Amino acid sequence: MRIGILGGTFDPIHLGHIAAARAAVDCAELDRVLLIPTGLPPHRRGTVADGTQRVEMCRLAIDEDSRFGVSDVEIRRAEVSYTVDTLKQLKAIHLDDELFLILGWDAARLFARWHKPQEVRRLASIVIVTRPGSGSPDGPALEAAGLGGPGVTVCVRPTPDISGSALRRAIANGESVTDRVPPAVVAYIAKNNLYMDNP
């Protein structure tokens, strides 16, 4: 199988994430995409919702779409979550499958600064999904990001311009986010009073 890996804080998961996953399925002819909420991210502060809540929101977001699954592999890990370690863990589980790491171009352009980027590329092919306002990377831009050569697919697709921080602010202010978040996730956020005291 061709399995896509889409990581993120998913705090909360929104329609932009789902659109990126669907675009990657189409561009790279993936059989399945695993959503993987980050555990302890190395370069940013912690999340508002805890790991269990973010995993559950991802499960609610994918509904019954058989192309998508959710993994709590990083949430269960006690130490800092590096992509290379997650891919090693997944490779051990999916021995006969091909892994594809799905990245927005905003994250991919920093790839050369990642922890062990060459090992990441050895473990998985890369699918770059363009983001609103970030343009489409050309050859020199990919080279500068450490993503030149084979094993990289650039997926130019329109996806919604949604910001997690703007979402959290909107929820804290009592605004509707039904245009940006799957209905089941909106209901879960309300039921659990998430983001109401967003700093």
pLDDT tens column, 57-103: 999 999 888 999 999 999 998 788 899 999 999 999 999 999 999 99
Q: E-assigned strands of the chain? A: 2-8, 32-37, 68-70, 98-104, 125-129, 152-155
Total domain count for the chain?
A: 1
What lies within 8 Å, CB to CB, of 193 at 6+ separation is none
> How far is residue 12's CA from residue 25's CA, in Å, rounded to a whole number?
22
Query: Looking at the domain assignment, is residue 87 inside a domain?
Result: yes
Query: Looking at the domain assignment, is residue 22 inside a domain?
Result: yes
Task: For the beta carbon of residue 1, count every other beta carbon within 10 angstroms.
Answer: 10
Query: Looking at the domain assignment, is residue 177 inside a domain?
Result: no
pLDDT tens column, 137-175: 999 999 999 999 999 999 998 899 999 999 999 999 999
Which tokens belong to 174? 């009592």
Look at the chain and count its residues: 199
Predicted local distance difference test score (pLDDT) of residue 63: 86
**Domain that includes residue 25, residue range:** 2-161
> Taking CA 156 as the corner, what is the angle to CA 151 and CA 159, rounded to the nearest 5 degrees?
125
CATH classification at residue 48 = 3.40.50.620
> Taking CA 77 as the corner, what is the angle to CA 71 and CA 82, rounded to the nearest 5 degrees?
85
pTM: 0.94
Query: Looking at the domain assignment, is residue 196 inside a domain?
Result: no
